[in-house]
Amino acid sequence: MPYITTTDGAEIFYKDWGSGQPVIFSHGWPLSSDAWDVELKLMADHGFRAIAHDRRGHGRSTQTWLGNDMDTYAADLASLVDQLGLKDVIVVGHSTGGGEAVRFAAQHGRGNVVKVVTAGAIPPVMIKSDSNPDGAPIEVFDAIRAGVAGDRSQFYQDLAWQFFGANRAGSKISQGQRDQFWRLSMQVGLKAAYDCVAVFSETDFTEDLKALDMPMFIAHGSDDQIVPIADAALKSVQLVKNATLKVYEGAPHGIAGDYQQEFDLDLLEFIRG
């Protein structure tokens, strides 16, 4: 299997499909690159080089004790880009991966990242504070940590319902999709899963967003129960110089079903444009 090795010795697994301009996908917590398989195939089928990696601690990458922080995640992505010699990169990130894509583009991608796409992404910052009074209280994230540290298998099964909006009337999300979420979640190391709760809730991307000067497409579901749109996309679009926001009415956090079909068409159009 293909891996790159980071400066601290972590081995980062990646998929590399097709050829052409590189489009790199960053997955959400607590998943892996497998979550992007449909989009990877879509991009490769349309003449792009589609790449997705397993974040350290997740999937098939090394379960490091240290380095479960956003700066290291972005540096790992920069190592992947450097070692593969990628130029004119387009980065796409979902949820926590959206934060990773934004930080990478702002701090490592000057002159090389040409477009950024996020979906249900965590920026600018999720946790409630004096400077972010509309955020979620720390008790919300403490409960997630407790679920991860306790019966994480059942926690991930329960979380899948909110993740995909399967708890909403009329949801068409299948048992198979919820099972896949659980399967990928169970592959993340406990330390990485636990540490990453603070990463996705407490990291402030405000300055990263302000630093972006390339075109950015921000996608978000109006019924996202994991990363509420009012705390995320509606604020992010105000901070980026050249950003377009599309709100997917009634869509959940997880990219699946009708939301996935519409988003994939928009993604392809934005990347081609």
Three-state helix/strand/coil letters over 233-248: HHHHCCCCCCEEEEEE
Mark out the alpha helices in the chain (DSSP H runs): 37-45, 70-84, 96-107, 138-149, 152-163, 175-185, 190-202, 206-211, 233-236, 257-272
**Is there a catalytic annotation at residue 95?**
yes
**Is there a catalytic annotation at residue 204?**
no
Q: If you write DSSP's letter for every residue of 53-102 in order, what string do you get?
A: EPPTTSTTS---SS--SHHHHHHHHHHHHHHHT--SEEEEEETHHHHHHH
**Is there a catalytic annotation at residue 174?**
no
Radius of gyration of the chain, Cα coordinates, nearest whole angstrom: 17
Of the residues 32, 224, 231, 236, which is catalytic? 224
Of the residues 95, 185, 201, 236, which is catalytic? 95
Instruction: Give the catalytic positions in this structure.
Output: 95, 224, 253
